[in-house]
Amino acid sequence: MANNRILRFHAPDKVFHSVNAITWFALLFTGVYVYFCEPEAACAEATMLAHLILGVVFTFNLLGFIVLAPDRFALILRACLEWDRNTIFWFRNFGGYPRRFFKIPFGPVEVPPQGRYNGGQKASYLLFMGMIAALTVTGWMLWIGAPLLGKAVFLWTFYFHVWGSIIVSVLVVCAHIPLALLSMEHFKGIWRLGPGTISVEAAEHHAPLWFERDVIRTNIEK
């Protein structure tokens, strides 16, 4: 904890997150443009080619993270799957955000202490990870496996791919990004070019159980 800062995001976390975010929205814009705007054939073909290239990058970014940094992938997945009493009780007042930002007295005043991720983050990250995997699989099915799919399966796969990506993107824009900006330390930590550190104060405030169990105790044991 040199200079009162903690390493929260390792290099593989930062690379995967950045490439995933950029390619996600690039895929969204190219897909939505072709599907809803119905451009001329040449323009649609060029846009879909860009969409396919982005899809390859999107796929290998996910596979690279899993294969090259399995410890980081396992740590994130394990943290998202750890649901204890405090995690569940986070939903009684949604982390205090309705009371804090909208003056709505929803649930108890106190927010139960959270671990590496709070209840809302765990639910949303599991959804995001599931959709990243699902959109990767359905994208390749629609591209490479289309001749092997029946008409009904192709249509269901296509509509899931299109509308699933749109719905999750709305959740990202309306919830994930605004809430991420509320903790500027975490936001800068995941996006800055340098080390993915956060301040001790931010760790104690947002993830006190993680700070006590995984930061302080680990340092003591070392």
Averaged pLDDT, 87-113: 93
How many CB atoms within 10 Å of residue 121?
Answer: 23
What confidence tens digit (pLDDT) does each residue in 52-70 have? 999 999 999 999 999 999 9
pLDDT at residue 215 is higher than 90: no
Q: 3-state class of 127 per DSSP? A: helix
What confidence tens digit (pLDDT) does each residue in 3-50 have? 689 999 999 999 999 999 999 999 999 999 999 999 999 999 999 999
Q: Name, in order, each residue with C-beta under 8 angstroms of 62's C-beta and a sequence gap of 6 or more.
A: 16, 20, 132, 133, 136
What is the percentage of the chain residues whose pLDDT exceeds 70? 96
Q: What are phi and psi of 90, to 5 degrees?
A: -60, -35
What is the percentage of the chain residues whose pLDDT exceeds 90? 87
pLDDT at residue 98 is higher than 80: yes
Mean pLDDT computed over every residue of the chain = 93
pLDDT at position 217 is 67
pLDDT at residue 1 is higher than 70: no
Extents of the domains making up the chain = 3-212
Angle at 185 between CA 179 and CA 188, to 5 degrees: 90
Superfamily of domain 3-212: Transmembrane di-heme cytochromes, Chain C (1.20.950.20)
pLDDT at residue 221 is higher than 90: no
Q: Is the pTM of this model over 0.75?
A: yes
